[in-house]
Amino acid sequence: MIRHETIRPPKHIYPIDQWRIVENAFYPDFLAQTETLFSLANGYLGMRGNFIEGRPCSENGTFVNRFYESWPIVYGEEAYGFAKTGQTIVNVHDAKLIRLYVDDEPFFLPSANLLSYERVLDMQRGTLNREVLWEMPSGKQVLIQSTRLISFEHRHLAAISYRVTLPNDTAPVTISSHLVPNSQSESCQAGQAIAAQGSDPRRRDLSDRVLIPDEPHVEGNRIFMGLTTRRSKMALACGIDHQILTRCEYTTETECVEGRAKVVFSVEAQPGEAIQLFKFITYHTSRSEHPQELIVRGRRTLDRGMQTGFEKILESQREHLDDFWKRSDIVAEDDGKGTHAGMIQQALRWNLFQLFQATARAEGGGVPAKGLTGQGYEGHYFWDTEIYVLPFLIYTAPRIAKNLLRFRYEMLDRGRERARELHKKGAIFPWRTINGEEASAYYAAGTAQYHINADIMYALQKYVNATGDKQFLYEFGAEMLVETARLWSHMGFFSEKKDGMFCIHGVTGPDEYNTVVNNNTFTNLMAQENLSYAAETVEALRTDEPEMYETLVFKTQLEDSEVDEWRRVAERMYVPSEDSTGILPQDDSFQEKEPWDFDNTPKDKYPLLLHNHPLDIYRHQVIKQTDVILALFLQGHKFSVEKKRKNFDYYDPLTTGDSSLSSCIQSIVAAEVGYMDKAIEYGRDAILMDLADVQGNVKDGCHIASMGGTWMVCVYGFAGMRDHGGELSFRPRLPGRLVRLCFPLQVRGHVLRVDVNLASVTYTLEKGSTLKIAHYDEVVALEKDAPVTLPIPTE
Amino acid sequence: MIRHETIRPPKHIYPIDQWRIVENAFYPDFLAQTETLFSLANGYLGMRGNFIEGRPCSENGTFVNRFYESWPIVYGEEAYGFAKTGQTIVNVHDAKLIRLYVDDEPFFLPSANLLSYERVLDMQRGTLNREVLWEMPSGKQVLIQSTRLISFEHRHLAAISYRVTLPNDTAPVTISSHLVPNSQSESCQAGQAIAAQGSDPRRRDLSDRVLIPDEPHVEGNRIFMGLTTRRSKMALACGIDHQILTRCEYTTETECVEGRAKVVFSVEAQPGEAIQLFKFITYHTSRSEHPQELIVRGRRTLDRGMQTGFEKILESQREHLDDFWKRSDIVAEDDGKGTHAGMIQQALRWNLFQLFQATARAEGGGVPAKGLTGQGYEGHYFWDTEIYVLPFLIYTAPRIAKNLLRFRYEMLDRGRERARELHKKGAIFPWRTINGEEASAYYAAGTAQYHINADIMYALQKYVNATGDKQFLYEFGAEMLVETARLWSHMGFFSEKKDGMFCIHGVTGPDEYNTVVNNNTFTNLMAQENLSYAAETVEALRTDEPEMYETLVFKTQLEDSEVDEWRRVAERMYVPSEDSTGILPQDDSFQEKEPWDFDNTPKDKYPLLLHNHPLDIYRHQVIKQTDVILALFLQGHKFSVEKKRKNFDYYDPLTTGDSSLSSCIQSIVAAEVGYMDKAIEYGRDAILMDLADVQGNVKDGCHIASMGGTWMVCVYGFAGMRDHGGELSFRPRLPGRLVRLCFPLQVRGHVLRVDVNLASVTYTLEKGSTLKIAHYDEVVALEKDAPVTLPIPTE
């Protein structure tokens, strides 16, 4: 259902701008939200958009992907096989903190008299900039300009330019550059943050768990500080160093007191003379280096950063983004009318930019549900990556897509162990994890979501089809396919009650409002594909690469009979049969349930999970997020548009969209079945998810999956692309006020640009020779640099 | 299924004896089990059968019913409405501890050279006695005789007689009588106990939670010690005092060191001169007294105990047991053949004795699942009381039955609050609790067991029918009926998919291996009865007692339309329809599930819950304990014997009996449908549950519900009694080697004795005038003291 009919971001905060998110004034009420929205990250390191002075602050946050503490999960009542090890991403040292004192008065935003204020997230430059002109009670004016970035070029490096100028006065100016363990960052009202967290099950705080700090290590203006996690035994070292440029006189002093360190620059500021400080920051962890070598690595990174210099780093940042936008930008032009003209373009770019920040240098890590923008979902990796983020990456950055699939492969052994623990053959990928161990402490909406096995294999298949990367398929994919197919084949059964069809019981589909059900349609369809693809791949491998096949057999003890069994299971997979109205039941019991009383559920009682006992939710016909509808999208080639429409009609009013993963899919399917108004509303919901704080929890971090979903809304939804079996087809139709949608795609080494207008589409093959695509029902063979323009049929 | 075909208690430990459990030698391997088996209790206070010297010890335990500590339940992932407050019965001070030193050598059972040893639980005297003759390495012999009891007459009093005699020698003898906080009872290998506990979800230890001890309070040979629980804010005071009788010279000293206190008697023992120590023990808690008055109350109890004297207390103990056995004994004579002749009689009496110990003076408390014999299930009250223990009490001790129902009434307001929290009308009784708050931290096998509402009302109805106590029904029962009926009416719905029948979804029945199901037959049948009885009672109250009716309406805001609605709901209650074979499905999906692979489940993999993830159990056709079969017993008048037989045939092979609540019901229904062999096997399983340690966890405490079940096995099973609507009928048939079964019943003020022989039954009305009963299909009007003997029809 459409719950949010007039979603718009607060315009006074984000005036429309094609490439920037601009805040024109300091809005304390939006502090928590803007800390997320102005986050910087490069996939390895992330910093929330906290003010550089550290105050005011809702939740200070610096995260290194996959750097986590683990803890034994405590259950009120435990049972066999419950997940044992919780994992939470660590909020590491705050190295960006810089304090300013003029005439010994601290600069403190909330009470400062600001003659001008601008904060800008620049999506072309990859920087967060702020410029304020502060008038002190004494009448002195102080211009403070800062730019910060997390380097895409230098994975372990962040840098800050902090520049203070007194246009007309002199004064003693103190710039104090800090490095503090985050738990001690008293500037942040941690108590409040924890209190505000309340009992929202989607958040967790490590504040009550102890990290072991190392003693600070001082080398002139350079300071290192480290920590070791108590239980996961991971080590981290953070270092800062400084360059100061000014014609004013200054002294420097480095202080370390009680585990807090700072370099203090005391400057006699002269009128109009800028005081320019560059701060270089590095983080290294024991994931890539021996704990004792972390500082050595840190020194090297700081040396390189300082030798390169801030300006050059800025340039390389721009180059990386130029490359990113070239590969990934979606031009979305509207008709320019109304006060919100340009809003969609801006929001879309912001989503894409955050996707880049979440994935660019993840290398060896996954994509946390919130990227590196907050501690929501504890920095865990879910199916979000494969189903929501990978389509974007597969078509715009296949190398990164491959890294992420490879990262899943690294977890395969843990998945095998988990399967053995649960007396199953094959492997069970964890529903949520950082280190590969299942970390879901609530099995009904965790362990029971076995579909993640099939989701990962679905993404593998899409990657292989879109890239043609058989090497990856054979070297890593096949082994995962064998183990996941085994799981499906072993956990279901041929049921006499269902005419000998293969049933899968006791699972939870994507919809977490109907858990532990039998024959979830989504799961069965996805498992079926998983099994078929596994059989097909093993067969092809045996033919194409007999030696690699032998290796696979050796590694997995694969028997021929298993492959036959997978085929038989796939063929006889039970899909809850449609009733006379053509509705695919979500599971065996969904349609038996009591209707939810939507009429008497006020808007402030959503999401339902925060206001109702799970049992109450589960016993009603109410859906958190698309489930059958998602299956009809992912396995769309198996169903007619007519059937999709009927099912959309049935399920849409029952779907609360309490999950951010829902709107994008609803938009895509609505577009496919011709419900353009709904496609627009849901699309807007997805695209503005975070900027307009649709779910009310953007303070906890960006909804990265929904961001991937916005790319899908444009490409699969409005451009009507489908890629079943790797063959691209398009049925574009621009919605509402959009007049142009233009984006590039990488397909098996080709680069295709799709430029949709109101009446026609132009397909241009920018790289590669000959690519066959379908435009509506017409097959077109594109040749390089020979644009083909085709009309969009009228409805 | 029958898993245990040749269950027998270890005979060397318990030689057959009609009224006693006798241990003829010290068996360290059975230490943990015998600590439970030799427990003493009076329903208020309980002490495990630990050796009086405190060592060796598996788990030292002293419990006061309903004296608990609470704690916030921690969830790995929390959700709305999850139970918040855990509760655990406190293992309070150990006051029974007495140490003995002869020639400064401690008496330590495991290393002592014992010339004789006997430990006896005397079920006629209500005492635990031990007599050992110890030969010291020096050759000196020491006779140690002890008797201890927990008084049935003096609820707060326990007493110990400890008598030491050196038949032929002299020696300095030190008797050191202790009072120690249990957590400090270092004599007990607490570490081992906790380690052994492992992750069995049915146990919990408070050792990591801190109780606040009071300073000891010394008054000569009298010592008081107290504690306050940190969170539940309950206070307890324990006191001990002493009398010593001996012709030998002695001195006395009282010591308190670091929260441990003792009175030390140093005696110059003379040959053949007994040293007789009496120790009196009292426990009072803030449940019945202001914390500051606890010691005053304790003094009074000790004064009374010492004035009365140990011998008189022994006498009153015997009187209470004489009365108990008169009301409650079941004579079960076998044919006297074989080595196990008499075993069933002994075991049966032991079960009845433990029932008495668990309930006699519970007054204001409930009956914990383990009575007061161990910390298993944390001292919680479950449906065990109403469905398994109350039938016994209703027919043998209706006053106690009433107290227990009244105790539930005291919890009604908490149940109302819980219903409001879950957005439900009426009241929801907690699945497990001490203080009335839901304490189940795993909702699938806790909160979801809404059937407890109907179970309590079922027991109420049985109590009212058997006693005719309309006063209780109208004063307390009606209000509970209104609120429980409201709950059912509000939590289900009239389903279009089921022809407008009333469905109840998302509940768990008695069988915890199939949770959160739709239309659990047991629940629907029991709810139906609950609704009908509520409507009927309200109607009768309106007619019989208009003023009480007005009070009820005022208290509950009852509207006429509600009562009509309950009737409509009851009439249209959906019961999963039988298929062509006459099988009642356990729930909507049970029969769709995959069969469990029993053939490949070795015996050591039971109970399944300790070896399989709940999801794996739930997705299979496997049953922990009777569910449909229990419904066919409790609502037996609604089903033909033929139908019961068919359902027994179907469900019995699927029922693991992993719960101790199963065997007794299987035995009863087997007897009814004519499967006498199974009736015997299951009956034996139930009757020997603890003595033969069938479930392997008797160390954690007695299975009180199964003990109530053994009474039911005899009365409902072998004597074939049924009492639907309060009218008694009998279809007796003695199984196996039994040649006589004789027991009394109290019915509406009458006392009926039923004496079953192989070929005939004699019914004697020992009290009251005229009682109609049915013997097979014949109705008989009994007159006082006019026995009627009727033949048992041949099959």
Q: What is the DSSP string of B150-216?
A: E-SSSTTEEEEEEEEE-SS--EEEEEEEEEB-GGG-TTS-HHHHHHHHTT-TT----TTS-EEEPPP
Q: How confident is the model at residue A185 (pLDDT cuts 50, 70, 90)?
A: very low
Instruction: Compute the average pLDDT of residues A408-429.
Output: 98
B77, B447, B612 ranked by CB distance to A442: nearest:
B77
Mean pLDDT for A169-187 is 82
φ, ψ for residue B573 (rounded to 5)?
-60, 130
Q: What is residue A631's predicted lDDT score, i.e. its pLDDT? A: 98
CA neighbours closer than 13 Å in the CB half-sphere of residue A251? 3
Q: How far apart are the first and last CA of chain A?
A: 25
Mean pLDDT of B369-398: 97
Task: Tell which residue, B179, B289, B293, has the closest CA to residue B239.
Answer: B179
**A443 has a chain B CB within 8 A of its CB:** yes
The tokens for A543 are 């033919």
Segment B80-109, tens digit of pLDDT: 999 999 999 999 999 999 999 999 999 999
Question: What is the rounded average pLDDT of the residues B502-515?
Answer: 98
State yes or no: pLDDT of A552 exceeds 70: yes
**pLDDT given for residue B736 in this prediction:** 87
Q: What is the rounded CA–CA span in Å between residue B295 and residue B290?
A: 10
Contacts of A440 in chain B (CB under 8 A): 76-77
- B223-227: which pairs have CB atoms within 8 A and are 24 or more residues apart? B223/B179, B223/B254, B223/B256, B223/B261, B223/B262, B223/B263, B224/B295, B224/B298, B225/B93, B225/B179, B225/B181, B225/B259, B225/B261, B226/B294, B226/B295, B227/B90, B227/B92, B227/B93, B227/B181
CB contact under 8 A, A79 and B614: yes
Q: Calculate helix-pair angle for A663-673, A641-651, nearest 10 degrees.
A: 130
User: B266 pLDDT exceeds 80?
Assistant: yes
CA A725 → CA A378, A473, A638, B78, B603, distances in Å? 35, 15, 12, 41, 49
Q: pLDDT tens digit string along A112-157?
A: 999 999 999 999 999 999 999 999 999 999 999 999 999 999 999 9
- Nearest CA of chain A to the CA of B496: how many Å? 9
- Predicted confidence (pLDDT) per residue in B538-554, tens digit: 999 999 999 999 999 99
Chain A residues near residue B423 by CB distance under 8 angstroms? 612, 616
- CB-CB contact of B121 with B47 (8 Å): no
Residue B189: its pLDDT value, please? 34
pLDDT at B191 over 50: no
In the stretch 653-672 of chain B, residues with CB closer than 8 A to chain A read none
For B48-73, what is each residue's pLDDT tens digit? 999 999 999 999 999 999 999 999 99
Q: Residue A718 burial (CB < 10 Å; 0-12/13-18/19+)?
A: buried
Task: Choose among B420, B434, B412, B299: nearest CA to B365.
Answer: B434
**Which candidate in A69, A479, A512, A529 is catalytic?**
A512
Kindly state whether A420 is in contact with chain B, defined as any CB-CB distance less than 8 angstroms. Answer: no
| Minimal C-alpha gap between B22 and chain A (Å) | 37
Is pLDDT of B185 > 80? Answer: no
pLDDT for res B182? 81
Can you tell me the distance from the alpha carbon of B92 to that of B346, in angstroms, rounded to the nearest whole number?
Answer: 31
Q: How far apart are the first and last CA of chain B?
A: 25
The predicted pLDDT at position B362 comes to 96
> Residue B57 corresponds to which tokens in the numbers above?
């010890």
SS3 A519: coil
A residues 570-589 closer than 8 Å to B (CB): 588-589
**What pLDDT was estimated at residue A203?**
45
Q: What is the mean pLDDT of residues B110-127?
A: 97
- Identify the DSSP state of A378: G
Report the distance separating Cα A445 and Cα A452, nearest Å: 12
Interface test with B, best of A613, A617, A621, A658 (most B CBs within 10 A): A613
Which residues in chain B have Cβ-Cβ distances shorter than 8 Å to A443?
613-615
CB of A208 within 8 Å of a chain B CB? The answer is: no
Judge whether A500 is closer than 8 Å to chain B, CB to CB.
no
| Interchain contact B768–A (C-beta under 8 A) | no
pLDDT score recorded for residue B212: 76
Amino acid A652: pLDDT:
97
N residues, chain A: 795
Considering only residues 47 to 76 of chain B, which have any Cβ-Cβ distance to chain A shorter than 8 Å?
A: 73-76
Q: Residue B61 in 3-state DSSP?
A: coil
* B125 vs A621: CA distance, rounded Å: 61
d(CA A770, CA B15) in angstroms, rounded, equals 93
Check B442 against A76: CB less than 8 A apart.
Answer: yes
Instruction: Please name the member of A493, A589, A614 whose beta carbon is closest to the beta carbon of B518.
Output: A589
| Angle between helix B451-467 and helix B478-491 axes, rounded to 10 deg | 150
A593 touches chain B (CB under 8 A): yes
Instruction: Give the H/E segment covering residue B479.
Output: helix B478-491
Percent of chain A clearing pLDDT 90 (strictly above): 88
User: Which of B104-131 are b and which e, b meaning 16 or more Cβ less than 10 Å from the residue's Cβ?
Assistant: ebebebeebeeeebebbbbbbbbbbbbe
Please report residues of A whose CB lies closer than 8 A to that of B78.
199, 201
Which amino acid is present at B731? R
Asked if residues A534 and A489 have their Cβ atoms less than 8 Å apart, the reply is no
Set of chain A residues whose Cβ sits within 8 Å of the Cβ of B440 = 76-77
The amino acid at B229: T
pLDDT band at B714 (very low <50, low <70, confident <90, very high): very high
Task: Mark yes or no for CB contact A79/B201 under 8 Å.
Answer: yes
Of A493, A592, A618, the CB nearest to B594: A493
Residue B431: list chain A partners with CB under 8 A: none
Say yes or no: A376 contacts chain B, CB-CB below 8 A.
no
Contact A613 B79 (CB under 8 A): yes
3-state secondary structure B370-419: CCCCCCHHHHCECCHHHHHHHHHHHHHCHHHHHHHHHHHHHCHHHHHHHH
Using a CB–CB cutoff of 8 Å, tell me whether B446 touches chain A. yes
pLDDT tops 70 at residue A365? yes
Assess whether pLDDT exceeds 90 at residue A198: no
Q: Indicate yes or no: CB of B441 within 8 angstroms of CB of A77.
A: yes
> Does residue A578 surpass a pLDDT of 80?
no
| Start-end of H helices in A378-439 | 384, 390-396, 398-410, 412-421
pLDDT of A787 strictly over 70: yes
Please write the tens of the pLDDT for every residue from A2-55. 877 667 777 666 789 999 999 999 999 899 999 999 999 999 999 999 999 999
In whole angstroms, give the CA distance from residue B732 to residue B756. Answer: 7
CA distance A74 to chain B (A): 6
B275 CA to chain A: closest CA distance, Å?
50
CB pair distance less than 8 Å for B80 and A614: yes
Amino acid type, B194: I
- Average pLDDT of the segment spanning A295-314: 97
Nearest alpha-carbon partner for A251 in A174, A184, A309, A303: A174
Residue ranges of B 80-109 with Cβ closer than 8 A to chain A: 80-83, 86
At residue A663, what is the residue type?
Answer: S
The whole-number pLDDT of residue B203 equals: 46
Determine the 3-state secondary structure of A607 from DSSP.
coil
Interface contact B610-A80, CB threshold 8 A: yes
Inter-chain touch A80–B609, beta carbons under 8 Å: yes
Identify any residues that bridge with A41 across adjacent strands, giving them in sequence order: A46
CB contact, 8 Å: A423 with chain B? yes
Amino acid at B459: A
The answer to whether B593 and B620 are in contact (CB under 8 A) is yes
Least confident residue range of A772-776, B393-397, B573-577, B772-776: B573-577
Residue bearing the bigger pLDDT, B212 or B780:
B780
Which of A534-548, A565-579, B2-16, B363-377 bottoms out in mean pLDDT, i.e. has the lowest? B2-16
Across the interface, of A442, A444, A592, the residue whose CB is closest to B497 is: A592
**Does ipTM top 0.90?**
yes
Please, what's the b/e burial string for B429-447 (b: 16 or more CB within 10 A of its CB; e: otherwise)?
bbbbbbbbbbbbbbbbbbb
pLDDT at A189 over 50: no
Task: Just list the catalytic residues of B.
Answer: 512
Contact A591 B73 (CB under 8 A): no
pLDDT level of residue B187 (50, 70, 90 thresholds)? very low
* Statement: residue B12 has pLDDT above 80: no
For residues B83 and B448, what is the distance between their CA atoms, to the nearest angstrom? 12
Q: How many CB atoms lie within 10 A of CB A536?
A: 16
Mean pLDDT (chain B, rounded): 93
CB-based contact A615 B448, cutoff 8 Å: yes
How many Å lie between the alpha carbon of B443 and the closest alpha carbon of chain A? 8
The encoded tokens of residue B149 equal: 């009891």
Q: Is the pLDDT of residue A262 over 90?
A: yes
- Give the per-residue pLDDT at B56: 94
Average pLDDT of A761-774?
Answer: 97
Average pLDDT over residues B756-772: 97
Residue that has been written with the tokens 């998810």 in this structure: A689
> Is pLDDT larger for residue B457 or for residue B71?
B457
**Mean pLDDT of all residues belonging to chain A:** 94
Q: Tell me the pLDDT tens digit for each residue of B460-497.
A: 999 999 999 999 999 999 999 999 999 999 999 999 99
d(CA A124, CA A320): 9
Interface contact B592-A79, CB threshold 8 A = no
Q: CA geometry: angle at B701 spanning B695 and B706, to 5°?
A: 60
Give the distance from residue A355's alpha carbon to the nearest chain B alpha carbon, in angstroms. Answer: 27
